[in-house]
Amino acid sequence: MTDWIESGGRLARPRSANGTSARRAGLMMVVLGLTMSVLVAAVQIAQARDPDGRYANSPLKEWFDRLRSGKGPCCSDADGSAVSDVDWESKDGHYRVRLDGTWIDVPDEAVVTEPNRVGRAMVWPIKSYMGVTIRCFMPGSMT
């Protein structure tokens, strides 16, 4: 009998040394390559948060790392941005902040209630395809 008859009428596929088909081995290499690319990109993004290391030795680093709002941890000083006094305001017990020329209402649960140890107002925005939301906001002393 021939291979064609024994395979039920289908032609036998070439196999690699470990028994997997060449097509499947190629697909596995593509998936592995994509996985490695994502991991490399994730490492670069994580390192970009403090590219020159200026926040690593700050005496306030531990305090920034522990900052939380009702929305969760604010992350660190490297993730937040200082806000000029003219770019944030309080009205009727609610805050809003100007980012990239647009005023954004700060959700009440995003306000950090711990005393501000740096003095300046800070905001931790999250930018997505749906716009900008505020994860944390810490009012400044307005001096």
Kindly report, residue by residue over 98-121, the tens digit of the pLDDT: 999 999 999 999 999 989 888 899
Who contacts 44 (Cβ-Cβ below 8 Å, separation ≥6)?
A: none
Q: What is the pTM of this model?
A: 0.58
For residue 62, is pLDDT > 80? yes
For residue 95, is pLDDT > 80? yes
